[in-house]
Amino acid sequence: MSGTLAGASSFPHPDDDPVLGDIVVSQEALERRLAELGAQITADYAGRAPLLVCVLKGAVLFMADLARHIRLPVELDFMAVSSYGTATKTSGVVRIVKDLDIDLGGRDVIVVEDIVDSGLTLNYLLKNLAARNPASLAVCALLLKEGQQKVEPDLAYVGFRIANTFIVGYGLDVAERYRNLRDIRTYIGSDGDDS
């Protein structure tokens, strides 16, 4: 194939990639926890057809796997937001880049998020979605960074509570890379900066 991208020719095994650190959440732990979350959602929404709203792009792997553990007629929709800020910190100013296709009026909506850090992105999203008159609005976050939120976010479902380190894998990226790792790992970076 012609055409090369930086780093495209070498993709070391994650264990041998110098910018990746320890496994924070293993593939096996993810699989176990997703089955639990799916069972919990199935019980909580019995008799209803919830609409899962995936916040692109980080939550796409999570939602795809979670949806298969929910034994209900779910619907899936996607939205993309971009938050102004640096590569690793959100400013709280959020813009909708891709909106939902499905009308939320009267629906039981579950927002599926990859990670809640400052909580600013989620805060903005919830305000925006609540204004569309859903019957109910809940959040299922795969990860919650402990102690980073000014106000404790109202999360109906949380996969894992983790310490404040920058992580990648299973949907989470740094500069769009590492989303396809099966485990969630700490990101060390080439200059050792993990801020």
Active site residue ranges: 117
- Residue 118 binds to ligand IMP (criterion: CB under 6 A): yes
- The residues in 168-187 that bind ligand IMP, with binding defined as CB under 6 A, are 168, 172
- Tell the smallest beta-carbon distance from residue 191 to ligand IMP (Å): 17
Q: Which of 27, 42, 90, 128 binds ligand IMP (CB under 6 A)?
A: 90
**Residue 119 binds: one of ligand IMP, Mg ion, none (C-beta under 5 to 8 A by kind):** ligand IMP
**Residue 117 binds: one of Mg ion, ligand IMP, none (C-beta under 5 to 8 A by kind):** ligand IMP
**Which residues make Cβ contacts (< 8 Å) with residue 144, sequence separation at least 6?**
115, 116, 153, 155, 158, 160, 161, 162
CA–CA distance, 190 with 128 (Å, rounded to integer): 37
- Residue 120 binds to ligand IMP (criterion: CB under 6 A): yes
Q: Which of 50, 58, 134, 159 binds ligand IMP (CB under 6 A)?
A: 58
Q: Which of 54, 67, 111, 119 binds ligand IMP (CB under 6 A)?
A: 119
CA–CA distance, 151 with 119 (Å, rounded to integer): 8
Q: Which of 116, 126, 137, 181 binds ligand IMP (CB under 6 A)?
A: 116
Q: Interface residues with Mg ion (CB under 5 A)?
A: 58, 114
Please calculate the CA angle 193-170-31 and round it to the nearest 5 degrees. Answer: 135
Based on CB atoms, which residue is closest to Mg ion, 65 or 114?
114
CA–CA distance, 15 with 22 (Å, rounded to integer): 9
- Residue 115 binds to ligand IMP (criterion: CB under 6 A): yes
- The residues in 123-162 that bind ligand IMP, with binding defined as CB under 6 A, are none
DSSP structure class, residue 45:
T
Q: Which residues bind ligand IMP (CB under 6 A)?
A: 58, 90, 113-122, 166-168, 172
